[in-house]
Amino acid sequence: MAFLYFLLIGAISGWLAGQLWKGGGFGLLGNIVVGIIGGIFGGWLAPKLGIGGGGLLWQIVIAAGGAWILLFLISLIKR
Residue by residue, pLDDT tens for the chain (79 residues) are 777 887 788 788 878 777 777 665 677 788 778 888 888 888 888 888 888 777 888 887 888 888 888 888 887 887 6
Specify the pTM: 0.75
Question: Of the candidates 37, 33, 42, which has an alpha carbon nearest to the alpha carbon of residue 63?
Answer: 42
Could you tell me the sign of the dihedral formed by the alpha carbons of 30, 20, 14, 29, in that order?
A: negative
What is the 8-class DSSP label of residue 53? -
Question: Of the candidates 8, 14, 16, 15, which has an alpha carbon nearest to the alpha carbon of residue 34?
Answer: 14
